[in-house]
Amino acid sequence: MDFFEEERPRLNPLHGIGLFLIIMLLFLFVFAPLQLHFGMAGLLLTELGLLAVTLLAVRITRQSFREVFPIRLPRFGQIMGTILIWGGCFLVVMLVTLVSMMLFPEGFLDISSSMSSMFSSIPAFFSFLIVAVSPAICEEAMHRGFIMHTFRGIRKDWAAVLCTGLIFGLFHLDPYRFLPTALLGMGLAYIMRKTNNMLLPALFHFINNSLSFLASLSGAGEVTGEAEQAAALLMEPSMLRLSLGSYLIVGCLAPVLLFAGSYLLCKSSGCLKKRSDLCLVLTIVGVIGLSFLMLAAGFIIIVQNMGSAMNLEDLQEFLCLVRP
């Protein structure tokens, strides 16, 4: 058994990038036409295709399936750490998405409209399985499985997390959502790097897609009208500034959630670095300070723009339309 383990070729990031490029070509010439002609069924076939190509890549490169797809029962602290990191990432992504919407509102609203229409084309239960469950398995097998495995030789965690996160952002082929999805990819890669357990990033992915699915589903049926109203409201400069202020207030919890989640995750995984008490105190002070700055900035922006803001009815309508 040891003899065969030694004979397995060592992979490097170029192998992972190669798989990514092959899948991108398949997206352009196979998967995209499938989704265009078959809708949700095409999306399911795409996810299954990703899984099949990934498994084939593992087989061709003669890698161990157990090493590429490490799965073990997670500890309670790891689960809680993963949930907290997801919460922090979600708040950061929510803020980044709002800024992107300020720059490209029409692009975001057009995409949201098409997604909601697709989700409502089949029963909600099957849509949920396709949108929330299948990506947590198939996309994770590709990104946190094979591609992340090829980055194991990179000693610096931040470099592996950054590179694989950017690949995850490019994977979605959406210029408007590149930065938000890349940030989510970095959060997923960080969890995988620290735990070497695919169940945890799969949990992160499942929670995130489930929330997005439920948000899209709740707006189905009146997508076109809401999109037009939201686009008009988003063009108001005072509304943009008010939204930024409110999102900064909510997002001030992100540094705390990310720090607490990382601490729990690393401690439960046995990879928590030993640091001096002074270093820990300074880190906590920095996290709290950043949260306070975000909170203060949010209040200042709101107070400064209250005079020129829309009436309360329009504000409530806008918040319903642009809910994350």
pLDDT in tens, the chain (324 residues): 444 455 789 999 999 999 999 999 999 999 999 999 999 999 999 999 999 999 999 999 999 999 999 999 999 999 999 999 999 999 999 999 888 877 776 666 556 556 666 666 788 899 999 999 999 999 999 999 999 999 999 999 999 999 999 999 999 998 888 999 999 999 999 999 999 999 999 999 999 999 988 887 765 544 445 545 555 555 566 677 788 899 999 999 999 999 999 999 999 999 998 888 889 899 999 999 999 999 999 999 888 877 555 555 555 554 554 444
Please tell me the distance from the alpha carbon of residue 27 to that of residue 1, in angstroms, as a whole number.
38
What's the half-sphere exposure (Cβ side, CA atoms, 13 Å) at 43? 18
Kindly state the DSSP code that residue 172 receives in the 8-state scheme.
T
Query: Which residue pairs, CB below 8 angstroms and at least 24 apart, start in 99-102?
Result: 99/244, 100/176, 100/177, 100/179, 100/180, 101/234, 101/322, 102/234, 102/240, 102/244
**Domain coordinates in residue numbering, the chain:** 2-321
Listing DSSP states for 210-243 in one string gives HHHHHHHHHTTTSHHHHHHHHHHHHT-HHHHHHH
Task: State residue 37 phi and psi, 5-degree precision.
Answer: -90, -30
pTM across the whole model:
0.88
